Amino acid sequence: MAEVAANLMEPGGHPARPRHVAIIMDGNGRWAQDRGWPRLVGHRRGAERVKQIVRACPDLGVNWLTVYAFSTENWKRSTEEVLGLMGIFARYIEREADGMSAEGVRMRFIGGRDRLSDKLQRLMAGIEARTAGNTRLNLTVAINYGGRDELTRASARLAERMARGEITAPTEADLAACLDTAGHPDPDLVIRTSGETRTSNFLPFQAAYSEYEFTPTLWPDFTPAHLAEILDRFGLRDRRFGGA
């Protein structure tokens, strides 16, 4: 037991903390509907919660945060909700650009951009360029993201490299280099809010050995204190990665 305990501690005797946390931010619509409000009110409140969690992560020892904002399946929602969400994303980027830069947050996006508006694509590219030199926290936002779609696009890139003769016998590392997350560390911990226990096509390749935490808390109610509690529990897990 002492050996296991030692493996769960960082130098100095502190419980191990995940370097990279990924979050499926679920429950915005239900949060609003439970209060008799339109679903978009919940999405706006959820965007405010993202700001709080982003600011809390560095002090909690988290260097990488990836959040699932809009999936490839979310296009099935009503036109009103989809357009409202796209507007929220645009306003979030516009309003947070100065704060991201000042607080040392590097912001990036994963997912296919072809279905997004030209304006949103310009805003995304702009904040990526503006924050490229920041190192305090790496924030990745998944918009129009689906794990199967990402793997399909990555496979096409890999096939192109093979056709050019750059690769003859592709490896796992070669495929990883073609993913949207190339250069990112895999998530140590994936959190899903709202009580659902599905992974919903989120980072299937990258999260193959991630720890998972499913919490009944709806995303607009998920506070930095909730995150800190989950991170403390993470330090008690014995991660063997297939070993004995």
pLDDT in tens, 46-61: 999 999 999 999 999 9
> The pTM is what?
0.91
Give me the catalytic one of 63, 74, 134, 201: 74
For residues 59 and 17, the answer to whether their CB atoms sit within 8 Å is no
DSSP 8-state code for residue 112: -
Active site residue 74: yes
pLDDT at position 212 over 80: yes
How far is residue 183 from each of residues 64, 108, 154, 180, 216, measured CA to CA in Å? 12, 12, 14, 9, 32
pLDDT at position 125 over 70: yes
Residue with tokens 């994963």: 110
DSSP 8-state code for residue 81: H
Pairwise CA distance, residues 154 & 15, whole Å: 36
Pairwise CA distance, residues 244 & 241, whole Å: 9
* Dihedrals phi, psi of 214, to nearest 5 degrees: -110, 120
Residues belonging to the binding site for Mg(2+) are 26, 211
Active site residue 26: yes
**Percent of the chain beyond pLDDT 70?**
91
Residues belonging to the binding site for substrate are 27-31, 39, 43, 71-73, 75, 77, 192, 198-200
**Residue 217 CB neighbour total at 10 angstroms:** 17
How far is residue 80 from each of residues 40, 75, 215, measured CA to CA in Å? 9, 11, 29
Residue with tokens 């936002």: 141
pLDDT at position 184 over 80: yes
pLDDT confidence of residue 17: 85
Residue with tokens 């360029």: 129
Mean pLDDT value of segment 144-159: 98
Domains of the chain plus CATH, in order, are: 15-145+187-234 (3.40.1180.10)
Strands 137-145 and 64-71: parallel
Pairwise CA distance, residues 177 & 183, whole Å: 7
Instruction: Pick the more confident residue, 111 or 100.
Output: 111
DSSP 8-state code for residue 48: H
Give me the catalytic one of 26, 138, 144, 188: 26
For residues 232 and 61, the answer to whether their CB atoms sit within 8 Å is no
pLDDT confidence of residue 129: 96
